[in-house]
């Protein structure tokens, strides 16, 4: 939703402040500091610090790299992973070492390396991309020994660091752009300057509490001249506005002490989004700006996606035909054409022509309900890629940013599509001021001063979604490129690329699963990198095999033969895959005629039954059950969400559907808008479990016990309110009453809790900052951190035959932990075997 549209609807009374207002307060700076300190204290005292964890990769499919800093000796450079910390190489990328583990946060926004003293490295935590998987940071850090040690230098409540620049000759002068919090307003946004190496800071540019600083650039020959870009953005779980009048280019001529907005030739309206820029080293007064223009395009909207054989079929039935169709006309429709219509529009598979006509005859459904089946629903993926906006535009200044002129003539709107908030980087060749690279979904280059662009990422096939680029000041053909697939290098000006990922396991997993093969396989869905699987015996550099593209999500494996895999990509696009034959079948259920269309979560829940692996569960706002491997589906719940908020981000959807391992027919469901439910009769009726739990938080996991009927664990997450409290609860009565088992945990957003299958008192908890273990049902927790850093943990599973805990991290790939030492530590007596 554009900001102007939002205001119109608000004025018309179609949206109310009460429906969008949040009563949940963001975590304060004081509370955030206390949490960081408590985590460090637990690390220093944990009895599990030296326990082993084996990283199994993958590295052949990597994770998002957001910044690059290269030393004067170009064999030494630093890599910032979006959620995997900072890595250093001293052999030109042949090997990398993590150097930032166990600091306040592993999500990185920006780095800066002093040109005059290469031992001085600054790291700003909190990724500056405003995406679903962007983690808040814990301030600003400085190293004076090339990354061997770091000291916290303040700005703790900045949340997300947009950019850092160091004075070219005086390393004590540093400029830092703070984007501030992502899901709330705060006054810690703006541009900060220090002249004493970070001992003290002065805020030298502040726009408002919803506008931060995303980019800063220093003039190549006159460090008194700086440019900064401000970016107004407003994100909630259900809505994102990535533009506003606060977004602008600012210019300083006194070393960043005072600033003036650059208005000549550059847009100043409410549709100005993220801005990035770069000076030309060969002609220092020439600077380019890359704008995400969210203004409405004058080009026609993309044509609707064609499904099935609609174009080949003569006079196909269209869904709008049913609007004025009589019952007799509907019953007279040709069954072959009707079958084509039903499949083309993805009606639930139970609706065959015969079944549709039977329900029409009996009055169970009407032709009007068929006409309204899609209900104005927008394909979430299509909406993300195909909105008619102006998109990416390139501007050029020849007076060091005083005045600007739009120079891009070729259509580069698809560089971003509708999500320019995820990109925003432009780089100018260090030897030719007319050679310009713009980073987006593809990598484009112009060699005529930004007028026309073409792709330069075909040879070597680097991954898409480009985030960072460094061009050698002494050799413009030597380029480093960071994107969602990792690190790439070119010695030919971008004409050919080499992949440098074998030493950095920084994949961002959303989910993890195992099978029962020997050795067993590990499966997982990754951010922007699809679904892959690899052997549990792998070393990090051993390649995994791909199963599916897109943003990889939940995986379920039929362990009766280990060949049938259920998995999918974002927003519920799920398939059943036979690894042996290669057969693939789309299994996403359609909604019942008369029901509202499905609302699928980004990470749609899917699970196989513990009791019969032919039974599959999926959740939109409804819970679906299939008894035949996803071929046909039955709706076994009403809408289980609050279904109150609307915006341009799919919301009011189920995030968790979990079956009891002990009782068939006992199912739990949780939603992104804070509802928790249980059914004990296979969906016959559902009981709300909200009482006794914090309200309106994202339900991140539910774990029914393997040992005791009625025992269940749950984690909730307030991250999308910038609230980082720890919410973990246990119930002994099917959720009628809840008891907090937070105990001695620091406040960190909680993602997953699971129970050990051999020891009922042993629990494992994954948060945004690491893995915790309790040996007494949550009365006390110990930090399992040492070989596993303080990385976000999204999912965990236990391979029972091998007694392994498999940990899926969002930033450091996958770890395998042998549980035998933990069991021996937890109890001196005999183990309790699973029922």
pLDDT tens per residue across span 143-155: 999 999 999 999 9
Arithmetic mean of pLDDT, 324-345 = 95
Asked if 429 and 476 count as a contact pair (C-beta separation under 8 A), the reply is: yes
* Angle, in degrees to the nearest 10, between helices 353-362 and 335-344: 100
Q: How confident is the model at residue 387 (pLDDT cuts 50, 70, 90)?
A: low
End-to-end Cα, the chain, rounded Å: 52
Asked if 163 and 178 count as a contact pair (C-beta separation under 8 A), the reply is: no
Q: How confident is the model at residue 375 (pLDDT cuts 50, 70, 90)?
A: confident
SS (H, E, C) 366-423: CHHHHHCCCCCCCCHHHHHHCCCEEEEEEEEECCCCCECEECCCCCCHHHCCCCHHHC
Instruction: For the chain, give the mean pLDDT.
Output: 93
Residue 418 has a pLDDT of 83
Residue 460 has a pLDDT of 73
Centre a 10 Å sphere on the Cβ of residue 498 and count the other Cβ atoms it contains.
12
Query: Where do we find the tokens 């046909």?
Result: 632
Percent of the chain with pLDDT over 90: 88
Asked if 214 and 128 count as a contact pair (C-beta separation under 8 A), the reply is: yes
CA distance linking residue 626 with residue 649, whole number of Å? 28
* DSSP code of residue 364: S
Picking from 205, 277, 293, 289, the residue whose alpha carbon sits closest to that of residue 243 is 293
Beta strands in 674-758 (DSSP E): 676-679, 687-688, 698-704, 712-717, 727-731, 739-740, 750-755
Arithmetic mean of pLDDT, 94-118 = 97
CA distance linking residue 291 with residue 393, whole number of Å? 5
Which are the contacts of 220, defined by CB distance < 8 A and separation ≥ 6? 279, 281, 284
CA distance linking residue 64 with residue 66, whole number of Å? 6
| Exposure b/e, 422-446, CB count within 10 A at least 16 = b | bbbbbbbbbbbbbbbbbbbbbbbbb
pLDDT greater than 60 at residue 587:
yes
Residue 299 has a pLDDT of 75
Asked if 564 and 578 count as a contact pair (C-beta separation under 8 A), the reply is: yes
CA distance linking residue 292 with residue 304, whole number of Å? 24
Beta strands in 167-233 (DSSP E): 174-178, 190-194, 202-205, 211-218, 226-232
**Which helix (H) or strand (E) is 296 found in, with range?**
strand 287-296
Q: How confident is the model at residue 399 (pLDDT cuts 50, 70, 90)?
A: very high
pLDDT digits (tens, 9 = 90+) for 541-565: 999 999 999 899 999 999 999 999 9
Asked if 552 and 531 count as a contact pair (C-beta separation under 8 A), the reply is: yes
pLDDT digits (tens, 9 = 90+) for 300-315: 655 544 444 445 678 8
Residue 303 has a pLDDT of 52
Residue 501 has a pLDDT of 80
CA distances from 251 to 264, 282, 403, 404, 406 (A): 12, 21, 10, 12, 18
pLDDT digits (tens, 9 = 90+) for 128-179: 999 988 999 999 999 999 999 999 999 999 999 999 999 999 999 999 999 9
Asked if 68 and 77 count as a contact pair (C-beta separation under 8 A), the reply is: yes
* DSSP code of residue 810: B
Least confident of 341-350, 414-423, 504-513, 752-761: 414-423
Least confident of 196-200, 205-209, 498-502, 670-674: 498-502
Residue 5 has a pLDDT of 38
pLDDT greater than 90 at residue 413:
no
CA distance linking residue 294 with residue 288, whole number of Å? 19
pLDDT greater than 60 at residue 754:
yes
CA distance linking residue 20 with residue 43, whole number of Å? 39
Asked if 561 and 550 count as a contact pair (C-beta separation under 8 A), the reply is: no
pLDDT greater than 90 at residue 392:
yes
Query: At 573, is the secondary structure helix, strand, or coil?
Result: strand
pLDDT greater than 80 at residue 189:
yes
pLDDT greater than 60 at residue 412:
yes
Tokens of 665: 């027919």
Residue 834 has a pLDDT of 40
Asked if 712 and 729 count as a contact pair (C-beta separation under 8 A), the reply is: no
CATH homologous superfamily of 509-826 equals YVTN repeat-like/Quinoprotein amine dehydrogenase (2.130.10.10)
For 545, phi then psi, to 5°, come to -110, 140
Query: At 36, is the secondary structure helix, strand, or coil?
Result: helix
What order of strands is seen across the sheet that includes strand 108-113? 108-113, 121-125, 140-143, 151-152
Picking from 285, 289, 291, 279, the residue whose alpha carbon sits closest to that of residue 429 is 279
Give the CB-side neighbour count of residue 174, counting CA atoms within 13 A: 30
> CA-based angle 46:79:458, to the nearest 5?
135
Q: How confident is the model at residue 297 (pLDDT cuts 50, 70, 90)?
A: confident
pLDDT digits (tens, 9 = 90+) for 20-53: 345 899 999 999 999 999 999 999 999 999 999 9
For 637, phi then psi, to 5°, come to -155, 160
CATH 2.130.10.10 domain extents, the chain? 509-826
pLDDT greater than 60 at residue 707:
yes
């Amino acid at each position: 939703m554009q900001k102007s549209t939002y205001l119109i609807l608000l004025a018309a009374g179609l949206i109310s402040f009460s429906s969008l207002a949040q009563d949940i307060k963001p975590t304060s700076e004081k509370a955030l500091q206390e949490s960081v300190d408590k985590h460090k204290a637990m690390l220093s005292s944990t009895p599990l610090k030296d326990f082993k964890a084996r990283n199994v990769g993958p590295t052949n499919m990597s994770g998002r790299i957001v910044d690059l800093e290269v030393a004067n000796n170009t064999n030494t450079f630093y890599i910032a992973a979006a959620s995997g910390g900072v890595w250093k190489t001293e052999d030109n990328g042949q090997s990398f070492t993590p150097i930032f583990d166990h600091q306040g946060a592993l999500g990185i926004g920006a780095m800066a390396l002093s040109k005059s003293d290469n031992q001085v490295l600054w790291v700003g935590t909190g990724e500056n991309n405003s995406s679903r998987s962007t983690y808040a940071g814990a301030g600003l850090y400085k190293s004076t020994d090339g990354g061997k040690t770091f000291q916290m230098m303040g700005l703790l409540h900045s949340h997300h660091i947009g950019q850092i620049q160091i004075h070219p000759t005086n390393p004590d002068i540093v400029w830092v752009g703070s984007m501030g919090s992502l899901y709330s307003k705060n006054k810690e946004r703006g541009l900060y300057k220090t002249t004493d190496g970070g001992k003290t800071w002065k805020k030298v540019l502040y726009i408002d509490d919803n506008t931060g600083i995303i980019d800063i650039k220093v003039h190549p020959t006159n460090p008194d001249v700086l440019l900064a870009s401000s970016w107004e953005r407003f994100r909630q779980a259900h809505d994102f506005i990535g533009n506003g009048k606060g977004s602008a280019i600012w210019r300083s001529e006194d070393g960043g002490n005072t600033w003036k907005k650059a208005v000549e030739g550059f847009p100043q309206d409410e549709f100005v989004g993220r801005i990035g820029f770069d000076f030309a080293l060969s002609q220092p007064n020439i600077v380019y700006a890359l704008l995400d223009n969210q203004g409405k395009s004058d080009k026609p909207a993309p044509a609707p996606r064609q499904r099935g054989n609609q174009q080949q079929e003569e006079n196909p039935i269209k869904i709008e035909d049913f609007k004025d169709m009589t019952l007799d006309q509907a019953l007279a429709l040709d069954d072959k054409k009707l079958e084509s219509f039903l499949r083309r529009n993805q009606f639930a598979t139970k609706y065959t022509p015969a079944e549709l006509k039977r329900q029409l005859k009996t009055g169970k459904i009407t032709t009007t309900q068929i006409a309204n089946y899609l209900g104005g629903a927008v394909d979430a993926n299509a909406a993300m890629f195909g909105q008619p906006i102006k998109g990416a535009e390139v501007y050029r200044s020849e007076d060091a940013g005083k005045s600007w002129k739009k120079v891009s003539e070729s259509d580069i709107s698809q560089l971003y599509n509708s999500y320019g908030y995820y990109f925003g980087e432009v780089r100018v060749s260090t030897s030719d001021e007319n050679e310009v690279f713009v980073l987006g979904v593809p990598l484009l280059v112009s060699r005529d001063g930004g007028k026309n662009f073409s792709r330069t990422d075909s040879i070597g096939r680097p991954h898409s979604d480009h985030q960072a680029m460094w061009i050698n000041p002494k050799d413009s053909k030597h380029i480093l490129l960071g994107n969602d697939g990792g690190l790439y290098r070119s010695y030919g000006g971008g004409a050919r690329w080499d992949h440098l990922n074998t030493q950095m396991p920084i994949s961002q997993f959303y989910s993890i699963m195992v099978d029962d093969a020997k050795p067993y396989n590990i499966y997982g869905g990754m951010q922007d990198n699809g679904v892959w699987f690899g052997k549990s015996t792998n070393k990090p550099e051993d390649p995994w095999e791909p199963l599916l593209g897109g943003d990889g999500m939940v995986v379920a494996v039929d362990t009766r033969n280990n060949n049938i895999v259920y998995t999918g990509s974002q927003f519920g696009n799920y398939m059943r895959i036979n690894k042996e034959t290669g057969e693939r079948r789309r299994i996403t259920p359609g909604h019942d005629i008369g029901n509202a269309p499905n609302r699928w979560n980004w990470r749609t829940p899917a699970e196989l039954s513990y009791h019969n692996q032919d039974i599959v569960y999926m959740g939109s706002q409804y819970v679906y059950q299939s008894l035949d491997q996803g071929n046909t589906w039955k709706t076994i719940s009403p809408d289980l969400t609050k279904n109150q908020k609307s915006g341009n981000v799919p919301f009011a959807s189920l995030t968790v559907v979990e079956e009891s391992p002990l009782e068939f027919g006992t199912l739990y469901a949780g939603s992104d808008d804070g509802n928790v439910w249980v059914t004990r009769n296979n969906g016959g009726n559902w009981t709300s479990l909200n009482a006794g739990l914090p309200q309106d938080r994202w339900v991140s996991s539910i774990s029914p016990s393997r040992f005791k009927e009625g025992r269940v664990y749950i984690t909730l997450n307030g991250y999308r309110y910038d609230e980082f409290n720890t919410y973990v609860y246990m119930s002994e009565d099917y959720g009628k009453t809840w008891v907090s088992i937070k105990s001695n945990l620091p406040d960190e957003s909680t993602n997953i809790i699971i129970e050990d299958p051999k020891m009922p008192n042993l629990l494992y908890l994954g948060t945004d900052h690491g893995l915790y273990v309790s040996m007494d049902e949550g009365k006390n927790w110990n930090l399992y951190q040492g070989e596993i850093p303080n990385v976000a943990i999204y999912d965990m599973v236990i391979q029972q035959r091998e007694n392994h805990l498999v940990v899926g991290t969002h930033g450091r790939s996958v770890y395998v932990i042998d549980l035998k030492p933990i069991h021996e530590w937890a109890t001196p007596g005999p183990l309790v075997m699973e029922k």
